[in-house]
Chains A and B, each alone.
Chain A
C-alpha cells in the first residue's frame, strides 16, 4: 500500500508503511478497547469460566447445561474476558554509529532511512491493530524531540516519519554523527514506566557489555523485541585489498587495517562471534530472540518472527 500523505515532502519523508502483525502472550492492563486479552471479565468473546448468577447478574448468559450439572444446583452464568489495547513503544538508539553510511552503498539505503522506515511501519501496524504507539530515543542524552507518549491517533505513522526525518537533519547539522554513544538508553527505557508494554528496542547493539546489561535490566518489566540494525559494509562487505585507517564513530578510537584475505576471515569470525554472543545475552536477559533487520526486510518475515517468538 503506497501511502503518501505529504505530497510536497522531500523523498526521505515519503514512506511506504508496511503492516506486520504481532501477538502478545500476556494480558493487557488498559481499559482502552483493543485486540489483546485482559485479565478482567467483560464483554468479550473469550470464555473465562462460570460464575453464579447472583455474582454476575446477566440472564442472557445463563448456561443451562452447566447449571443442571452443578451441585448444589444453582444458576451459572458464563463469563468472558475483555480485550484491550496495549502500549507499544519503539525505543531508538540514535547514537553516532547509526549514522554510518558506507560510501559504496546507494544513498537510498542508509541505516537512518531503514530505521525511519521500520519505525513508521511499526507505528502504522500498531495503530492499525488498535494499540497505542509511543516513542523514546536516546544517544548520550534522551532526545526530547523524539519523545511521543502512547497514542492511538490514526496519523501517528506519518507524524513519526516526519519527526524522524527532521531529527536526522537536525542531528547532522549539530554534528551528532561523531562522538555520541548510547549511554542514555537505560534511562529512556526506564521512562516508559512500570506498566508492561511491548518494547521494540531498535539499535545496532554495538554497545559495551555494561550498557547492554543495564539497558536489559531496565527493560525487565516489558516484553522486549530487540531489533538489530547493522550495515553489512561495516564488517562483511569490506574492500578486498588496501590499507585503511579507521576511526570509531562513537569512541573515536583509531585502527589501521591492512585489508587482505586473512584479515577478512578473522574480522568475519569475530563478527559472527559477536553476533552469537549478542543473541545469547539478549535471550538470557529474557527478551525475545532478536530480529535482524536486513535492508530489504519484508513485513511478512517480521510478522512471522514476531509470531514465532511470542511465547
Chain B
C-alpha cells in the first residue's frame, strides 16, 4: 500500500470515539495541502492581467504642436534690448511650450516638427514625458525650409481616426510662412473642416519680418510676404483661428497662456495600464498555506510516548 502520510498502527479503532476537532484538523490538513500545491502551480504558470486601456475623463484639449524647425528659427527675436534677451527663437519657443506641456494634466498632446518635410516627434497621447523628450530633442539646430502645409497636414492626420472627445487644437509655432498652391489650400481646408480643429498660430516675428497686425500698404505685392498670405488663407478656413504675433519671449508666454485656457470641453481619453502580474498573489497564498502546514506539522505526534 502506497500512502503519503505516516500513520500510527492501532489494533482496534472501531469502538473508539470520533473526535470532530480531529476530523476537521485532518480535513484542514488536506485542504491546505491542496491549496499549497494549487497555488504553487498557478504561481509557476505566471498568470497576468493583460495590458488594459482605462478610460479617463478630464477637462482639456487635444493639442497637436506643430513646431517649425527651419534654419531661421535659430535667429533671435526682433529686440533692441540687452544680449541676454537675444535668445534664439527656437529656445524661447521650446521653453514656453515645455511649460504648456507641463500645465494641462488632462490634455492630450502630440508634436510634429517640420522643416523641409514633417517629422512625427510625438503621437497624440497622454504621455507627457514623450512630448517633453521630443521638445528637448529640438535643441539640435534647425535647418532647411518652412513647409507649413505638410506639417499641419501631418498633425491633422493624427486627429483623423480618433473620436472627438475634447476640443481640438493645432498650435503652429513658426516664424514665417510659405506659399500654398491652390490644391494644397483646398486639401488643408477640407482636412480642417473634417477634423474640426481650431488653429492657433504663434507667429515668431523675426527682426526684419513683416508684422501681420496691420494690413499691407497699398500697392505692395502680397506674394512678397508669404506670412501675410498664409494669415489670410487661415482666416478663410471656417474653423476657429487665432494668430498671436510674438515679438519677444513675453508675448510667446502670453499666447501660450491663452491657449491653455482653451480647455472648455471635457476630454475623454484612454490611458494604458501596464499588465499586472498575478503570480505574486498565488505566491502569497502558497506561503500562507505553507505556514499553516508547518503549524500543523508541529502539532503532529513525533513519538508514541505516554
Interface residue ranges, A against B (CB under 8 Å) = 96-98, 100, 102-104, 177-178, 204, 206, 208, 230-231, 233-235, 237-240, 242-259, 263, 266-267, 270-271, 274
Once the chains bind, are A256 and B23 in contact (CB under 8 Å)? Answer: yes
Contact check: which of A96, A178, A254, A263 meets B19 at CB < 8 Å? Answer: A263
Query: Are A239 and B301 in contact (CB-based, < 8 A)?
Result: yes
Question: Is B261 interfacial (CB-CB < 8 Å)?
Answer: no
A-B contact pairs, 15 of them (CB 8 A): A103-B305, A178-B9, A206-B11, A206-B14, A234-B10, A242-B300, A243-B25, A243-B299, A243-B300, A244-B301, A246-B10, A248-B12, A255-B13, A256-B19, A258-B19
Is there contact, CB below 8 Å, between B13 and A258? no
Interchain CB contact under 8 A, A242 and B11: no
Give the secondary structure class of A's interface. Answer: mixed
In the bound complex, do residue B306 and residue A240 qualify as a contact, i.e. CB atoms below 8 Å apart?
A: yes
A204 touches B12 (CB 8 A): yes
Residues on B with C-beta less than 8 A from A250 are 11-12
Q: In the complex, what residues of B have CB within 8 A of residue A257's CB?
A: 19, 22
- State whether A258 touches B11 (Cβ < 8 A): no
What A residues does B258 contact at CB under 8 A? Answer: none
Q: Which residue of B lies closest to A258 (CB)?
A: B22
Partner of A246, one of B9, B15, B21: B9
Hey, which chain B residues are within 8 Å of A238, CB to CB?
306
A178 contacts which chain B residues (CB < 8 A)? 9
Report if B17 contacts A (CB, 8 A).
Answer: yes
- Name, among B10, B17, B306, the residue most crowded by chain A CB atoms within 10 Å (CB to CB): B10
Is B215 interfacial (CB-CB < 8 Å)?
no
Given the contacts A102-B304, A255-B18, A245 and B11 also touching, CB distance less than 8 Å: no
**Shortest CB–CB separation between residue A233 and chain B, in angstroms?**
7
A267 near B16 with CB under 8 A, answer yes
Enumerate chain B residues within 8 angstroms of A103, measured Cβ to Cβ.
303-305
Are B12 and A206 in contact (CB-based, < 8 A)?
yes
CB distance from B13 to the nearest CB of A (A): 4
Instruction: Decide if the interface of chain B is mainly helix, strand, loop or mixed.
Output: loop
Q: How far is the CA of A190 from the CA of B19 in the complex (A)?
A: 40
A237 to chain B, nearest CB (A): 4
B251 at the interface (CB under 8 A from A): no
Q: A259: nearest residue on chain B (CB-CB)? A: B301
* B303: A residues at CB distance < 8 A: 103-104, 239
Query: Does B296 count as interface, using CB distance less than 8 angstroms?
Result: yes
| Cβ A247 vs Cβ B304 within 8 A | no
Q: Which residues of B contact A249 (CB under 8 A)?
A: 9-11
> With a CB–CB cut-off of 8 A, which chain B residues contact A255?
10, 13, 16, 18, 22
Interchain CB contact under 8 A, B22 and A243: yes
Residues on B with beta carbons closer than 8 Å to the beta carbon of A96: 11
Write out the residue numbers on chain B whose beta carbons fall within 8 Å of the beta carbon of A242. Answer: 299-302
A239 and B306 form a contact (CB under 8 A):
yes
The distance in angstroms between the C-alpha atoms of A204 and B23, with both chains bound, is: 27
CB contact between A256 and one of B11, B14, B16, B25 (< 8 Å): that residue:
B25
A76 to B16, CA, bound (A): 66
User: In whole Å, how far is A48's beta carbon from the nearest beta carbon of chain B?
Assistant: 49
B26's closest neighbor in chain A, by CB? A256
| A204, A240, A274: the one within 8 Å of B15 (CB) | A274
B50: interface (CB < 8 Å): no
Q: Is the CB of B13 within 8 A of A253?
A: yes
| B7 at the A interface (CB under 8 A) | yes
Q: Which residues of B contact A206 (CB under 8 A)?
A: 11-12, 14-15
Q: Which residue of B lies closest to A277 (CB)?
A: B15
Q: How far is the CA of A81 from the CA of B22 in the complex (A)?
A: 65
Query: In the complex, what residues of A have CB within 8 A of residue B296's CB?
Result: 243
Rounded to whole Å, the gap between the CB of A93 and the closest CB of chain B is 11
Let me know if B219 is at the binding interface, CB within 8 A.
no
Q: B19, B21, B296, B299: which has the most chain A beta carbons within 10 Å?
A: B19
Within the assembled complex, what's the spacing in Å between the Cα atoms of A193 and B301?
A: 48
Q: Is the beta-carbon distance between A208 and B9 smaller than 8 angstroms? A: no
Let me know if A244 and B8 touch, CB within 8 A: yes
Q: Report the nearest A residue to B6, measured CB to CB.
A: A245
- Which of A97, A246, A249 is the most central at the interface, judged by chain B CB atoms within 10 Å of its CB? A246
Look across to chain A and name the residue whose beta carbon is closest to the beta carbon of B5. A245
* Inter-subunit contact A270/B17 (CB<8 Å): yes
Residues of A within 8 A of B16 (CB): 235, 255, 267, 270-271
Q: Which residue of B lies closest to A230 (CB)?
A: B11
**Is B8 touching A245 in the complex (CB atoms < 8 A)?**
yes
Query: Assuming the A-B contacts A178-B9, A234-B10, A243-B299, are A104 and B17 also in contact, with contact meaning beta carbons closer than 8 angstroms in the complex?
Result: no
Complex-state Cα separation, A251 to B13, whole angstroms = 9
Contact assessment for B6 and A258 in the assembled complex, using a CB-CB cutoff below 8 Å: no
Residues of B within 8 A of A177 (CB): 9
Since A178-B9, A239-B306, A247-B8 are in contact, a sample of 15 more A-B pairs with Cβ atoms closer than 8 Å, ordered by chain A residue number, is A100-B9, A102-B304, A206-B11, A206-B15, A242-B302, A243-B301, A244-B301, A246-B7, A246-B9, A253-B13, A255-B16, A256-B19, A263-B19, A263-B22, A270-B16
